[in-house]
Structure 1
Amino acid sequence: IQLYKYDSNDNPQAEKDENGNDVFVYRTTRHTERQKEGGCDWKVSGYFLVSPDIVNKEGAAKAQTMDWASANGYLTSANSNVYSTPSFAVTKGCAAYRGKDGLDETGTWRVPTRGECALILLFYKKMEETQETTGFQPFALSPKDLTYYWSATEKGGDSKDAWSMRLYADDKMTGYGLNTGYFDKEKKEYYLRCIRDIP
């Protein structure tokens, strides 16, 4: 899809190459929860890496909340339209993340689907236990409140909602879950953890 950048006034401008041609980039298909609507949330990557870092909207290793479109590397118009609407790309969120050492090609990391988030939630404590040897940073940031992380999966038939991972502090009864909120895609800002497919 066509790549855009934001100018100093936060307006989208088409990215051009050295010859003045529009630049196009690879982005995975937008996801919905409903397979019957042509959605692809039922697909789960066979193998994937989870970013050791919480990623900010510029793609750096820094804990920062952001809107759904920024997390997925789309123009902000994607926050209020349905998954079947074509969305233009920007280098934000997972699309801008370049891995632990900063050497991965831009665009090789992405936001996990709801199905992939379910797998992450099953193993997130095990991943956190490897921090000393791998540098894997813990998920939950608040010692007492819920912490949310974006999923790529949009709520089927709804232009304003998307699924997210919901994590609680260790001393809470409920450790984790999947959630879709009220107007969360349009109005909320959550944290971001990226994944990268292993061929």
Structure 2
Amino acid sequence: MTLPVVLVGVVLVAMSISGTAVALPSMGRDLDASGSPLNWVVAGYNLAFAAMTLVAGSAADRVGRRRVFVAAALVFAAGFLATALSPAIIITDVARIVSGVGGAGIMAAGGAILASSYDGAARNRAFALMGTMAGVGIAIGPTLSGLLITATGWRGGFALFTVIALLVALGATRARESRAPGAGRID
């Protein structure tokens, strides 16, 4: 169960990196926003994701990889839910930053979970699949997001991502917990 849960989390994070831009025109109309505030829907997520990836990886090694992965998936879901329910662009921007923090945790702790769960050739295959899913998520994110927005509106798309992230968190509770031996103190 560990590998599928991590892979679904990875593809979800990757899709939210590339697919959100497709929602911007609809979001701008609904939230009466344009320019820089609307740009932060994407930029805030990406900035938080980049800034928090190393922090999340370090935390996973110290407090537990599964624990950080589950918490990150919950933070990711909370950010998506807040985005789906957002009445104003500033709330949307903050919610997307929250989602970026959660996405960083999913990617960093997910990789650490795979590294501690598999050895040798199986580990190589697990990481190859993780990289493939990240690439697939980036590649299909705009297309699937566009279809989803057409079918459910941008709020529906963010709500669906919320549900999937909650399922990822639930599935991850079944993974084995691990920490880095001798992780040392936080610097």
Structure-1-length-normalised TM-score: 0.26
Q: Which has the higher strand share?
A: 1
Q: Which has the higher helix share?
A: 2
Q: Greater relative contact order: 1 or 2 (C-alpha under 8 angstroms, separation 6 or more)?
A: 2
Structure-2-length-normalised TM-score: 0.27
